[in-house]
Amino acid sequence: MISAKKLTKTLIKNKVTFFSGVPDSILKNFSNYIDRFPKKKHVISVNEGSAVSLGIGYYLSTKKLPCIYLQNSGLSNAINPIISIANKTVYSIPLILMIGWRGSPNIKDEPQHLAKGEITPDLLKTLGIKFCILKKARDLKKFETLIKEARKKNSTVACLIEKGVIISEKRKRTKVKSNKSLIRFDFLKEFINQIPRNSKIISTTGYTSRELIELRKNSKRGKDFYMVGGMGHSSSVAIGYSLHSRKEVYCLDGDGSVLMHMGPLRTAGFLNRKNFKHIILNNNSHESVGGQITTASGINFMMLSKSLGYKNFLKISAKKDLKKTIKRFIKSNGPTLLEVKIDNGTIKNLSRPKNLLKIKKEFMINR
Ligand SMILES: Cc1ncc(C[n+]2csc(CCOP(=O)(O)OP(=O)(O)O)c2C)c(N)n1
C-alpha cells in the first residue's frame, strides 16, 4: 500500500506540480488528497482526453511535466491527444499518466472492466508508453525513474495502480443528511411508479443504474438498459433507440456523465424526437467514485437545453415537487430535459448488474 501523501510528495519532489484527471474509485484517495491544491494546479476534468489536453497546454506554457490521472476505461478517451499530439512522432510532449487499473487479472471485478483490464498493459505497449505497476512504497523508485525518462526524452510514461493500493491517512467524515434532502433514490422510486408500462430506460454508469436495479425487485414498469461502461454515452444510446421506436425513451443521466460528452445534447435537440426524455440527476459530483465535484452546479440547464433545441425543460429541487413534476415530464412532448437537483446519498448494499446478455435480451423484447 502507498499513502496518497507519499505518492504526491514523490511527484512534487520530481517537480511534477500540475494535476488533471477524471475521478476513479481506485484513485479517489489520491484525487481527494490533491484537492488541497488551488484550481490552477488541480483541474478535475470532464473527460480523460480533455485532461491530457489540459496537461499538454500546461506543458506548452511552463515546460513542466503534467500528471494526468484516470481510470483505465478512460484511456480510450485519452488516446486521441496522446497519440496524435503528444506522441514523439508528432510534438513529443512529456506526460505522466497515473492509471487506476480496473479489471486487473489478479483482482475480482465487474464484467465491464474485465476485457479492458486484461488489455491495458498491451494497450500501453502498443502506444509505446513505458509503465510500471505501483503496489508498494518501494515501487515509487521505478516510477521516479520513468518520470526522469519522460523529462529527458519528452515522452509519455505511466503507472498502473490496482484496487486498494492508495490509502489515505484521514478517515472520511460521513455527512449527516436531513430528512428534507432529495436523493437519487427518492426520484427513481417515484419515476418508475409513473412511467408508461412499455417505456425504455437507458441509465448511466454508477449508482444510478445500481439503484434502479434495486428498485426493479418490486417494479416491472418499463425495461432498463444499464450503461455499466461507456460513461457519458447513455444519451447517445437513448437517442439512437428513440429514432427507430415509438416507445417512450428515458435517459437517466448524471451530471458528471453529461459533462463527459456534452455534444450529444445538441444531437438530441437537432433530431427533435418526441419520445426522447432526458433526466440529469445533478448532485454536482461524481458520487459513485468518491464525491469529487463536477462543477455542474454552475450550469443553467434551462438556457442550455433551450439553445440546443430541446422543446421543454423542467426542474425538481424538492421532494414535495416530485410527483407533479414527474407527471408533467412524462406527459410532455420531447425532446425534454428534466434537471433533478439532488444531494449525495445512496442506499446500503446496492446490487450490481450481473447477467448482461440476459439484460440486453429482455430489453429488446417488444421493441
Ligand atoms: C471513461 C470513464 N471515466 C471514468 C469512469 C469512472 N466513473 C464511474 S462512475 C463516475 C462518476 C459519474 O458521475 P455522475 O454521472 O455525476 O454520477 P454520480 O456518480 O454522481 O451518480 C466515474 C467518474 C468511468 N466509468 N469511465
Residues lining ligand 1, Cβ inside 6 A:
22-24, 71, 73-74, 77, 204-208, 231, 254-257, 283, 285-289, 294
Q: How far is the CA of 266 from the centre of ligand 1 (A)?
A: 21
Same structural domain, 146 and 18: yes
Beta bridge partners of 70: 99
Task: Give the residue from 167, 193, 222 where a domain finishes.
Answer: 167
Residue nearest to atom 8 of ligand 1 (CA): 206
Among 167, 192, 224, give the residue marking a domain's end. Answer: 167
Last residue in a domain, options 135, 167, 199: 167
The closest residue, in CA terms, to atom 16 on ligand 1 is 256
How far, in Å, CA of 256 to CA of 295, rounded? Answer: 9
pTM to 2 decimal places: 0.96
Residue 172 lies in a domain: no
List the one residue out of 19, 69, 5, 31 whose CA is nearest residue 290. Answer: 31
Residue linked to cell 470532464? 46
The answer as to whether 178 is a domain residue is no
Q: Cell numbers 468518491 correspond to what residue?
A: 290
> Within this chain, do residues 202 and 289 fall inside the same structural domain, yes or no?
yes
Q: Give, for 250, the enclosing helix (H) or strand (E).
A: strand 249-254
Question: Could you tell me which residues are beta bridge partners of residue 58?
Answer: none
* Ligand 1 closest atom vs CA 77: 1
55 in Cβ contact with 18 (< 8 Å)? yes
Domain of residue 28, residue span: 2-167
113 and 140 assigned to the same domain: yes
Place of cell 467524515: 173
pLDDT tens digit string along 42-101? 999 999 999 999 999 999 999 999 999 999 999 999 999 999 999 999 999 999 999 999
Give yes or no: residues 148 and 279 share one domain: no
* 111 and 39 fall within a common domain: yes
CATH, residue 139? 3.40.50.970
Of 329, 292, 361, 338, nearest to 39 by C-alpha is: 292
Q: Do both 143 and 267 map to the same domain?
A: no
Confirm whether 34 is domain-assigned: yes
Q: Are residues 110 and 195 in the same domain?
A: no
pLDDT at 173: 53
Q: Convert the pLDDT of each residue in 205-256 to its tens digit.
A: 999 999 999 999 888 889 999 999 999 999 999 999 999 999 999 999 999 9
Q: What is the rounded average pLDDT for all residues in the chain?
A: 96
Which of 205, 251, 258, 299 has most ligand 1 atoms within 8 Å of CB, for mutation? 205
DSSP state of 170: S
Look at residue 172 in the predicted model and tell me its pLDDT: 57
Domain count, the chain: 2
Please check whether residues 356 and 311 belong to one and the same domain.
Answer: yes
Q: Is 120 part of a structural domain of the chain?
A: yes
Distance of CA 294 to the CA centre of its chain: 10
User: Are 238 and 310 in the same domain?
Assistant: yes
CA dihedral sign, ordered 130, 136, 141, 147: positive
Substitution site in 45, 231, 257, 294 for ligand 1 pocket (most atoms within 8 Å of beta carbon): 231
pLDDT higher than 90, residue 366:
no
Q: What's the N-to-C CA distance of the chain in angstroms? A: 49
